[in-house]
Chain A
């Protein structure tokens, strides 16, 4: 496709959010080049495709702008290219102007300016489906007659109308239109003339059904955004989400845990004894079950987030939360990133891109990891079950809630402290948010979203976590004790002599003040690669325990841990140790992928490393204080 030089040079212009880039991508596919315009640091994106007539087209994607009267560097480039004044850039033969059909009144301004330049123009009427859904009656024929240019209705995101658009570019080129509106006078007068003309044609060609009656969305909003009922609804929704995550998910989780246990038993008995058997049963099946068992909770959490976004409720929640966020110097825009962070900090950090204020965005990124992500759930569940073994599931859920709120409240306090320490924005920005109409979420969209998330989780479990499980297993198995040494008979002695035992004993002094033995310390260190590994690591190391005989080999991990003792016979997992571990996991930033994303999004290693070190140091100190204080009171 790249043979021969292009026969037609086409420029693509449009307002930001008109779907210009989507159209560019769907027209050119993979044939794209990114460069720079000489003298300015505005990127020049171009691509190639062929029309159905076989004409080879070079398409340049111009920066999105609202007007040809340039204000920013981006807008100046658009103006100069269209007028043929840009150096080293031939004047385009034809311009495709992309407009959002659902907001014609806003987008036609630029289109009229482009048409008035007197070049051949094709108008791509994008998002026609959205406009019709909003009750706008579009009439492309009238629009085309009034504007004097060919009009092609398209849906760039669904690749609809692209063939027709390519056909419209075919030779001969459409003739330049003679504007039906007044194009004389100074800039202000021209703008007024355009506004008047746009109003006229929109009345005819894009009739909007807005007679001031309240839509269903308006009526719902008057309930869901009202001060009292709004808050009651929001709290009820949040409660339902977290209740479902913690109570309903126990059924599939028990099933997964049970399946893995029987799979392990079956493999153990079906295979000859040896290293491979051991690796499969203890390392892989045992390790992975600790992680995979959380798939239901993660799926449920992402399901609710997708449901809130797709139904349009998320924006309302952000508006309600705006007031709370204002108290700590953030706005409602930080709500979605912080809520997403409860599933995983990575999408949370990426979702901060919608925050206008650079300062607010940075603060949100910095505190996001203190929202307890789903990877911490395994650890919390394990620790809380051990902390309150006899308590009802309701009490356990309340403790879990308290753990979550500890993270959230500390994060908000941190935001408040950071507020005064981070440089102010150059221009102040204030909260403004588009409220999409309420929609019944499409089951297909929800299903795809959840399957994507579940797949990402399984992929992670199958790659990083599987690899870590194998490494953990190898560290605890090798070096094998010599045949006639005492360790050959005693499994726990063998473990202490393994590489992991050696590493564990080296780092034990660091974590001893927090109440952790060497196995727990190793698990904590390992979990800096991925938090889920904590449970897998304990599963692997505590599998060998002197009190257990063969028949008990598949007892649950928390029962094994409850029996674990220090060399002097006292219990390791006292309430103080468990609290200290809980606190450590709330605060420690044990997730390398998050740090990588933070470095990329803040464009600075300084913030990412500072966040990693700061949070982990805070976690250590907080866990230390909790253990020491709790040891005094819980004796």
Chain B
């Protein structure tokens, strides 16, 4: 139930996107914002999914649901995350 509480506590770090997040850590997808939402959902970036960011860069690497993905910065900007 930790997840539901943290969602209600609106704080400054709430607005962190996956591209701002630090590599090497585990995050939880909080919301999707932008033009590519449906495409991201198709690839599995649904709300409440856990995602581990592996590296930074123009194309960042992350693992989601056991799948490794390379993701353009512009897409990662549309994924809001919180530390898991």
Q: Which residues of A contact B (CB under 8 A)?
A: 16, 66, 71, 102-103, 105-106, 109, 134-136, 191-192, 195, 199, 208, 210, 212, 217-218, 221-222, 225, 315, 319, 322-323, 331-332, 356, 427-437
Contact = CB atoms under 8 A, between A and B. Distances in A.
B71 interface: yes
Interface string B32-74: 0001101101111011110010110011010101111111101
Given A103-B65, A195-B47, A356 B70 contact: no
Given A103-B65, A134-B66, A428-B36, A218 B42 contact: no
B16 interface: no
24 contacts: A66-B41, A66-B42, A102-B66, A102-B67, A105-B65, A106-B65, A135-B66, A191-B47, A192-B48, A195-B47, A217-B68, A225-B55, A319-B59, A331-B72, A427-B36, A430-B36, A431-B70, A431-B75, A432-B75, A434-B69, A435-B61, A435-B67, A435-B69, A436-B68
Given A322-B59, A431-B59, A437 B68 contact: yes
B67 A430 contact: no
Contacts of A217: 68
A42 B74 CA distance: 32
B49 A430 contact: no
B67 A434 contact: yes
B53 to A, nearest CB: 12
Contacts of B55: 222, 225
A87 B38 CA distance: 28
Contacts of A66: 41-42
A134 to B, nearest CB: 5
A294 B63 CA distance: 43
A103 B66 contact: yes
A427 B52 CA distance: 27
Q: Which 6 A-B pairs have the closest CB atoms?
A: A430-B72, A435-B68, A431-B72, A195-B48, A430-B75, A430-B74
B3 to A, nearest CB: 8
A106 B49 contact: yes
Contacts of B38: 71
Nearest to B49: A105
Nearest to B75: A430
Contacts of A191: 47
B82 to A, nearest CB: 15
A135 B4 CA distance: 29
A432 B48 contact: no
B61 A432 contact: no
A202 to B, nearest CB: 10
A526 to B, nearest CB: 45
Contacts of B35: 427-428
Chain B interface size, as a band, is 20 to 34
Contact of B39 (A106, A199, A208, A429): A429
Contacts of A71: 38
B14 to A, nearest CB: 17
Given A102-B67, A331-B72, A432-B71, 15 more contacts: A66-B41, A71-B38, A103-B44, A103-B65, A136-B66, A210-B63, A212-B26, A221-B54, A225-B61, A428-B35, A430-B72, A431-B59, A431-B72, A433-B70, A434-B68
Contacts of B47: 191, 195
Listed residue (B26, B38, B49, B66) with the most chain A CB atoms within 10 angstroms of its CB: B66
B36 A109 contact: no
Contacts of B49: 105-106
Contacts of A221: 54, 61, 68
A430 B76 CA distance: 10
A425 to B, nearest CB: 10
A432 B66 contact: no
A332 B55 CA distance: 18
A212 B74 contact: no
Contacts of A136: 66
Nearest to A67: B41
B16 to A, nearest CB: 19
A433 B69 contact: yes
Given A356-B39, A432-B43, A210 B70 contact: no
Contacts of B63: 210
Contacts of A135: 66
A221 B48 CA distance: 27
A159 to B, nearest CB: 25
B26 to A, nearest CB: 7
Contacts of A434: 43, 67-69
Contacts of B46: 106, 109, 195
Contacts of A106: 44, 46, 49, 65
Contacts of A16: 42
Given A195-B48, A432-B71, A437-B68, A323 B42 contact: no
Contacts of A105: 49, 65
A435 B44 CA distance: 14
Contacts of B43: 432, 434
Contacts of B48: 192, 195, 199
Interface string B4-42: 100000000000000000000010000000011011011
A110 to B, nearest CB: 11
A435 B65 contact: no
Contacts of A212: 26, 52
Contact of B54 (A134, A192, A218): A218
A90 B55 CA distance: 51
The listed residue with most A CB atoms (<10 A of its CB), out of B4, B26, B68, B74, is: B68
A428 B78 CA distance: 13
A73 to B, nearest CB: 14
Given A195-B47, A195-B48, A432 B70 contact: yes
B65 A322 contact: no
A430 to B, nearest CB: 4
Nearest to A427: B35
A212 B63 CA distance: 10
